[in-house]
Structures are given as structure tokens and as C-alpha cells.
Amino acid sequence: MPKRSEEMLTDIWTSLLLMWIMCVPHISTVPVVNPSRSLQTGSVIGLRGPGEGQRILSRAKRGWVWNQMFVLEEFSGPDPILVGRLHTDLDIGGKNIKYVLAGEGAGTIFVINERTGDIHAMKRLDREEKAEYTLTAQVINRDTNEPLEPPSEFTIKVQDINDNAPEFVGGPFHATVPEMSQVGTFVTKVTATDSDDPVYGNSARLVYSILEGQPYFSIDANTADIKVALHAMDREMREEYLVTIQAKDMGGHMGGLSGTTTVTITLMDVNDNPPKFSKSLYEFVIPEDLSIGKAGGKVKANDRDIGENARSLYNIIDGDERDVFEITTDPQTQEGILQLKKPLDFETKRSYSLKVEATNVQFDPQFSNSGPFKDTATVKIVVDDSDEPPVFAKSSYLLQVHEDESINTVIGQVAARDPDATASLIRYFIDRHTDLERQFNVDVDDGRITLAKPLDRETDMWHNITVTATEVRNHSQISRATVAIRVLDINDNAPEFATEYEAFLCENGKPGQVIQTVSAIDKDDPKNGHSFFYSLVPEMLNNPNFTIKNNGDNSISVLAKHDMFRRQRQEMYFLPIVVRDNGTPPLSSTNTLTIRVCGCSKEGIVQSCNVEAYVLPIGLSMGALIAILACIILLLVIVVLFVTLRRHKNEPLIIKDDEDVRENIIRYDDEGGGEEDTEAFDIATLQNPDGINGYLPRKDIKPDLQFMPRQGQHSGPNGVDVDEFINVRLHEADNDPTAPPYDSIQIYGYEGRGSVAGSLSSLETSSSDSDQNYDYLREWGPRFRRLGELYSVGESDIET
């Protein structure tokens, strides 16, 4: 730290000396006249000459002899630093003048002595923040503040010192270079920046060097290019290097400032290593029942390279029966996977020997002299005996059976064997999922397939079933074979008309006219094809109306014998025709042809034997007739709806007399418990409330205000007024703040005090009805007089 302070102090004194040399010619107390400059920058002043009113214009000379000043940055002495002094020719003796300074930093950073013109820097300056300041100087009258000269502009430049160290922007850095690169191979370039003035001195002249990272890499001192400095750098030995770079200003000389950064250089992989098997001999034991395409073993050739350079391709280049195995490459693990191409058989061959080769997929010619980029290994395979399932003699069977064969007829036989040395016995079964109707059976011991139900070729021509073979000693070993059974045809179906024919005969037809062409079909399928023979039934051979003609193509034509057919006489004829096939034995059937007599036009067009023929002469088509019919149906529906609505509207809403309303009566068979039942209701609500201070609180609401019960009114025997009693109670209920604004049931357990009649409740009296005297009810007024008479009459009736 002290060394750096000495260097900075030396730079400061050097800068002060340079500033003094540059500024002495410009700071002078002696007025100097520069005619050429005065002509360029002088002010125009108006003077009065000898002639009155005449105005002579001339240029006044100005004594400013500067254009710039210098001040050293980062100067921090005890007193303000003197930047320079301003002087004018008008400053003669004790003339009353004043120097004024304006512009950037005037009054804050720079202050001028208004009497002497000395300019001082009041603050510590930093050239990197602001390199120069533009100010304006002017001389004015001290008393009147009137300008004596026009203002002039000058600059103060902040002189640089080496106070900023070089900086690497964006560090630390990363770079890559291929391994095994030649010496001098460019890696990367890192440069630093220096905030000092690059024009003044060597403060910003940088020199680069490597502090750490030799002898692997070098750097150009001026360009900062980093290059490979060591031959044959191997990534497999070391992949990453940390290089420290230094940038020093002042051209690298003593006293310069420096900055450092790090560059992480990673060697990129190249294919400079061949694959290598970890061992020269691999041995695998593979069960003979291993499925085709399944892995039987794995081999691995290691490659020190990475990525694409480490990818290897495996091949079988030698060995016995190489077509039984194949080897593929796992793209994730780069392993060679040994797989089966053909099934193994322990009884046939029990071991194999293969030679496997691993070769790099990528190849770099520059390393061709390093040798072949491949390796070989031997693979020995031992076949392990497994309990194999039975093997059918054929994977599929084709059997044939006639459809008229009887039940238990042997259709064919399947055969399977146990390929193992133990040669277990075999049992055969039919998979009933393929024979849902159970039409076939198989002998469990010898595999003979028999018929279980009659077959019909016309229903199913083919039957596909699956037969399974299972070892007796190991039921889990099962094999399957497909058996296709073809049902052969026999002549068991008689021919019949191809369709239900209905022929039309014109009344004005000619004799020999073809009425209908008839063909037949047969569900059977003879080998030589169908051949049908047609004839009329014997009783119709000599009929006078129709005859048939063989067309030679298994069809016939029905002909009319005369032209005397009339609908008025007979509208319809039925012609039985016998059709016989050429099967063994031949079968035949009788089919009836219906012939309808119709009225026809002269051109032979049928007109009057169907609905459309009758409608056409009127000029209406079938579509028009359907539309008319639809409209009629729609009108009928509307009328029915209208009548139904009217009937519903006239029905009364009350229940008719004949309706049984007893359906709405709900009966309850529960009976009350009487006076002994104390759980059906609260007995306390019927008691006199004297025990609770004469007041029963409401149980349905919680009153906000406590309503005090009024005292009972005592009336004499002759002064009872029930109307007044009820009105008073009604008024109290209306003004009771605890009463709800809705209807509610209120239970009164107390009937009042002072009543001559006393309590009417039967719960608190020990007298019977016969002891009661109801004469006092007559004294309560007209309304109770009738009630007393009724009770008195009731008692007298009981006594009698």
C-alpha cells in the first residue's frame, strides 16, 4: 500500500509540472495584445468623435490571452487548488472592476476572486466522471454592475492521473479447445478496459500476462489471444484447466495498476481411443425356452471417449450357426445385447461359440495411425434344458365332414409330443370358447375329434376350434393348435322359387304372350352346379289357360293359351309349378304362381289391377293422395283436441257426490293414557301458578322486556262482568311487548282469582259431577243462564 501511494504522488507532481509549463504563457499580469485574435473575438463598442451626431464604429482590443486551463484530478490538498488567473487591460491601478465567472461548475466547483481574477477548484475532481468544463468570464463595473467587456468563453480540462485499474468486463470466462490440439492453436481472447485517458501518457496502455495456467497455455501481451502451449493435451488425463490472466497499465512498467480474471478452459473430446472389451471371454447359460427376440446376455466394450465418439457397433463376425443369434446395441448403455433369432433345442444342440466385434461408429482420420478402432471377444453359450410344452405335429389342421354324418363320427385326429427327454404323456382338450355350442369332442388320450351334434352346411360352412395339448406331469405346459373343419354339402334342400312371384295378365293379351319368367334357387351347393327341371302338377297338365316353356338357363316362361281372360269372369288364377333339382337323390318342391287379370291400355300398360291404376285416370298422383290424407288426419286430431279441452273446462272443481272422500281420511289407532299418563303432556302447565309468584313465562319466545302480571280482580257474587274481563285481557295481550306478532297457541294453566264458581278444572277437585250446583251460572248473565239450565236438566235426568 505505501508503494502505491508513492507512485500516485510521483504521478501528481509530474502532472503539476506539465500543467505549469503549459499554463505559464497564458496566465500573466501584464496585458498582452494579440491583434489577430482581437479582430476575431473583440467586442464592438460605440464611441463619439469630433463631429456632433456622427458615430464611429471601431473594435476594442481585448486583453484575454487564454483558451484553456488545466487542473489535476484527484487532488486533495488542505487548501483549494489554484487553476489559473484571469487578467484584463482595464485592470489598471485602482480602477473599480470586478471579475465574474459563469458556466459549468461556476460558484460550486470553480470560484473566482472578483478582485484578482484567480480561479480555484473547490472540490476534488474526477476526469472519468467529467473531463472538461466550459465557463464564461466577464469584467463588470463593481459599483454599477455594468459590463466593461463582452463575455468570453474558455475551458478547464481535468488532467488525468493513473487512478483506475484495468477491469475485465463479463468475467470469469469459459472457453473450449479440442484435445490433442497442436501448439499455437487459438483458444479464446479476453480483453480488459481502463477508464483512464488513453491519449495522455501510458495510463491506459495495457499489457497482458498469465499468472496461472502455464505451461499449458500462453497469451499474447498486446492482443490478449490465448493459445495452446503444450503438445498432446489429453482430455482423458485432465479435462479442465483454470487460467489466471492479468492486465497491467502503464505499459506493464513499475507503478502501473493491474486487474485479473480467470478463464476456465475445457478440453473437448475427440475420438482418440478405441473400444475395449473388459474381458476376452464371455460365458452365458440360456434356457432353451427363451423366446425369440429376448435378451440372452450382454457384453460391453468400454471407450474412454464420451458422446458420439464413444458409440460402438457390435457384430457377430464368426461362430457356429451364426443365424441362431444376433447382437444389437443399447443406445443408452452402449452394451451389446445378445438375442435369439431362432428357437433353441437342448436335445439338438447344447452349446454355441461366437466371436463378437465392437467398432466405433465415428472415426477421426487424424488418429488412423493409432491402430484399428475396434476390439473382439469370444462368447460361449450353454443351452439349459427346460420343461417345454408339447409340440403339435402341425400348427394347424384342416378337416372335412359331410353335414349328414351321425353323432360320434370321427372327423380327424391331432397329434402332439413332449420334446423333453422325459417324454411325458399328452392329454387333449377343446377350448370351449371356440366351440360354444359344443358341436365337437376330442379324445383326451389319442386326439381323435368326433362329432357331438348334427351339422348343417347351410347354417355354418366352416367351424374353427382350438385344441390344447397338456403334459400329464406338468399341467402348466400347454400348447395350442387350430383346427378348421369344413362341412361338405349333401342334397338335403329342395329348390324353390327365387322370390314370391305375382304375374299380371292383360285382358286383351294375345295367345302365347309371356306372362312371367320364373327362376329357382337351391340352398345346396353341388359340385357340378345347379340344374333345375320345371313341370306343372299332373292335374294342371291339360289346363286350358296356361303353359310353361323351358328357357334353357334354369328358368321358364309362363305363357297364356288364349285371349279370353276377363276380370268379370275370374280376376285371379293360381298355377302350381313343380321344381326339381339334379341331386342324389333328387328333391323337388311345388310352388304356386299367382296370376292377376288386369285392365290394360292399347300399349299393354296395366291400369286397373292396383290402386295407382285407378287413381291415375283422375289425374292425381300417389304423392298428392298421401298429402290429402295427411291433411285429413291433421284436421281430425285438431277437432279431437278441441273437444277434449272443452270437456275439461266444463268439469266442476268441487268433489262430486258420488266420489268417495274416505280415501283422504287418515286413521290413528293410538289412544291417550288418561290422567295417569304423565308423559304425554306437561302437568305443570295445568297447575295454579301461585307457586311461581303468579306468572308463567312464555316458552316459545325469549321476551326482551319483563312483563309483570296484573293482580287478580276480586268481584263479588253479584258483580261479575265477563265482557269487561275479556276486554281487559284482550287489551293486555295487545299491549304485551313479549307477545309475538304471529298467531300462537297459548296455554293458560290458571283461570284467575276471585271467581265465585272456583276452578272448572277436574284435575284439582275431589267432588264428582253429581255434587256440582250449576245454579250460580244464572247469575253470570244471559249468556251463561242457558248453560246453567242445560246442566241442571242433565242432572235431573240422571237422578231420575
Smallest CA-to-CA distance from 198 within 246, 146, 251, 262 is with 251
Is pLDDT above 80 for 28? no
For residues 539-545, give the mean pLDDT. Answer: 87
Question: 551: which 3 cell numbers?
Answer: 328357357
Give the least confident one: 164-178, 264-278, 727-741: 727-741
Q: Do residues 698 and 738 touch, judged by C-beta distance below 8 A?
A: yes
Q: Are 563 and 511 contacting, i.e. CB atoms less than 8 angstroms apart?
A: yes
**pLDDT band at 771; cut points 50, 70, 90:** low
Quote the pLDDT of residue 696. Answer: 47
Cβ-contact 44, 133 below 8 angstroms: no
What pLDDT score does 749 carry?
A: 52
Alpha helices, DSSP H only, in 177-249?
A: none
Strand, helix or coil at 96? coil
pLDDT bin (cut points 50, 70, 90) of residue 800 is: very low
Q: Are 561 and 510 in contact (CB under 8 A)?
A: no
509-524: pLDDT as tens digits: 888 888 899 999 988 8
Establish whether the linkage from the previous residue to 287 is cis, with ω within 30° of 0. Answer: no
- Binning pLDDT at 50, 70 and 90, where does residue 748 land? low
End-to-end CA distance of the chain: 145
Which residue, chain included where needed, has cell 473430446?
269
In degrees and rounded to multiples of 5, residue 321 shows phi and psi of 50, 60
> Averaged over 628-651, what is the pLDDT?
86
Rounded CA gap, 718 and 723, in Å? Answer: 15
Paired sense of beta strands 448-451 and 440-442, if any: antiparallel
State mean pLDDT over 768-781. 66
The pLDDT of residue 35 is 29
Q: How far is CA 79 from CA 82, 85, 656, in A?
A: 9, 17, 127
Task: Give pLDDT, residue 52.
Answer: 35
C-alpha cell at 768: 264428582
Closest CA to 379 of 280, 272, 270: 280
Of all residues in the chain, the percent with pLDDT exceeding 70 is: 74
Q: What integer is the mean pLDDT of 466-480?
A: 91
Give the C-alpha separation, 238 to 586, whole Å.
Answer: 100
Helix, strand, coil % in the chain, rounded to nearest 5: 20, 30, 50
Q: What's the rounded Cα separation, in Å, for the pair 580 and 493?
A: 11
Query: Strands, DSSP E only, in 489-554?
Result: 496-497, 502-506, 514-521, 533-536, 546-550
Min mean pLDDT across 155-164, 252-261, 437-446 is at 155-164
The average confidence (pLDDT) of the chain is 77
41 band by pLDDT with thresholds 50, 70 and 90: very low
**Cis ω before 585 (30° cut-off from 0):** yes
Q: How far apart are CA 276 and CA 663, in angstroms?
A: 102
Rounded average pLDDT over 624-636: 89
CA distance 136 to 155: 8
SS (H, E, C) 662-685: HHHCCCCCCCCCHHHCCCCCCHHH
According to the model, what pLDDT value does residue 617 have? 46
pLDDT surpassing 60 at residue 261:
yes
Residue 12, pLDDT > 80, answer no
Q: Higher-confidence residue: 601 or 666?
A: 601
Residue 686 has what pLDDT? 45
**What is the rounded CA–CA span in Å between residue 119 and residue 106?**
10
Reported as type and span, the H/E element at residue 243 is strand 240-248
Grid cell for residue 664 = 283422504
Dump pLDDT digits (tens) for 289-335: 888 888 889 999 998 888 888 888 999 888 877 788 999 999 888 89
Dihedral angle over CA of 298, 299, 301, 305, nearest 10? 10
Q: What is the Cβ-side half-sphere exposure of residue 418, based on CA atoms within 13 angstroms?
A: 18
For residue 262, the cross-strand partners are 244
DSSP string across 461-489: SEEEEEEEEEESS-TT-EEEEEEEEEEEP
How far apart CA 327 and CA 345 sit, in angstroms, is 20
708 band by pLDDT with thresholds 50, 70 and 90: very low
Q: pTM surpassing 0.85?
A: no
pLDDT tens, residue by residue, 672-706: 555 555 554 454 544 445 444 444 444 444 444 44
Place 365 in a pLDDT band, splitting at 50, 70 and 90: confident
Mean pLDDT of the region 707-732: 62
Sorting pLDDT into bands at 50, 70 and 90, what band is 507? confident
Given a contact cutoff of 8 angstroms between Cβ atoms, the answer to whether 355 and 319 are in contact is yes
Mean pLDDT of 597-623: 65
pLDDT one-digit tens code per residue, 409-422:
999 999 999 887 77
Which residues of 489-600 form beta strands (DSSP E)? Answer: 496-497, 502-506, 514-521, 533-536, 546-550, 555-560, 572-580, 588-598
User: What pLDDT shows up at residue 688?
Assistant: 47
Residues pairing with 410 in the sheet: 450
In this prediction, residue 53 has a pLDDT band, given cuts at 50, 70 and 90, of very low
- What burial letters (b/e) apply to 133-146, b meaning 16+ CB within 10 Å? bebebbbbeeeeee
Most confident of 141-145, 344-348, 400-404: 400-404
The pLDDT of residue 111 is: 87
Which pLDDT score, from 0 to 100, does residue 195 have? 77
- CA 417, 422, 427, 431 dihedral sign is negative
What's the pLDDT at 637? 93
Q: ω before 78 within 30° of 0 (cis)?
A: no
Q: pLDDT band at 661, cuts 50/70/90?
A: very low
**pLDDT over 70 at 10, yes or no:** no
Q: Kindly state the cell numbers that stand for 695.
A: 306468572
Q: Is the pLDDT of residue 235 over 50?
A: yes
Residue 368 has pLDDT above 90, yes or no: no
Q: How far is CA 86 from CA 5, 148, 231, in A?
A: 34, 15, 68
497 strand-pairing partners:
520
Question: pLDDT band at 602, cuts 50/70/90?
Answer: confident
At residue 310, the pLDDT reads 84
Span of 154-163, 698-707, 756-765 with lowest mean pLDDT: 698-707
Task: Quote the distance between the C-alpha of residue 311 and its chain's center.
Answer: 37
Per-residue pLDDT tens over the stretch 16-27: 554 444 444 333
Judge whether residue 719 has pLDDT over 80.
no
Cell matching residue 586: 333328387
Identify the residue whose cell numbers are 302338377. 537
Q: At 437, is the pLDDT very low, low, confident or very high (cuts 50, 70, 90)?
A: very high
- Phi/psi-derived region of residue 761, left when phi > 0, alpha when psi is between -120 and 50, beta in every other case: beta
Nearest-Å Rg of the Cα atoms of the chain is 67
